[in-house]
A = this chain, B = another copy of it.
Amino acid sequence: MARRTQGVSAGLDRERIAAVAVALVDRDGLERFGVRRLAEELGVDPMSIYHHLKGKAALLDAISEAVLAEVAGGEDDTSGSWEEITRATARRYREMAYRHPRVFPLLATRAQTSPVALTGLERMVSAMRAAGLPDQVVADAPLMLFGFLNGYLLAVLSGEPDGIGAVPAIDAAAYPTMATLMPLQAGFGSPAEFDRMLDTVLDGIRNRAARPDGPGPAQRVSS
């Protein structure tokens, strides 16, 4: 139908392919995504894609990179405390996740080493270091923060088709305490909940900075 004749350019390039792939995953989900469906969406032969991205894995990498690029902040100056920078980055990350709930599992699963990811991290850790946080705390911070962000957002988005899940109602007799607390989980996935938890993580980092190598509150075995 919409097939080009051989040899004539169909205007394919890594960027356009990635953009359409993101839209496709947003619409149909990761499970249904594939080279053939993407090719149809592009009006192109499946094998044509392989001239720009060598395999499905590379395709998934391109998708990850494309959505991650949306997180980059507008102001790239070095103003703001590390808390402000970190909080703003985390919020933009959350917004991206909500914009692409079905793409997000890719980000949490695959290691991110693209320049756009590293640039954001560099900004964060350099602000922390400039503020005098101990090196070990700063070194731990990215893994800790994005560990939380990925796991939390994964949990919150893995519910409904549209990604915004609801708590699935539990057995009050078998789990009395959890049942009692259920009303307090009404805001599951809400901005307020996110801010509460993000603040708790940042508090943890800040307080750890106060006693850089102190023992944990309970027994610590050295191993």
Contacts and interface: CB of A to CB of B under 8 A. Distances in A.
Contact of A216 (B121, B122, B195): B195
Interface string A183-210: 0110010011101110111111111100
A143 B152 contact: yes
Interface of A: 81, 83-84, 87, 105, 108-111, 113, 115, 118-119, 121-122, 125-126, 129, 135-136, 138-140, 143-144, 146-156, 158-159, 165, 168, 170-171, 174-178, 180-181, 184-185, 188, 191-193, 195-197, 199-208, 216-218, 220, 223
B203 A217 contact: yes
12 contacts: A113-B168, A118-B170, A118-B171, A121-B175, A125-B177, A126-B176, A136-B196, A139-B181, A140-B184, A146-B151, A148-B151, A201-B204
Q: Is the interface of A mostly helix, strand, loop or mixed?
A: helix
Contacts of A217: 83, 199, 202-203, 206
A210 to B, nearest CB: 10
B129 A177 contact: yes
A174 B111 contact: no
Contacts of A200: 140, 144, 201, 204-205, 208
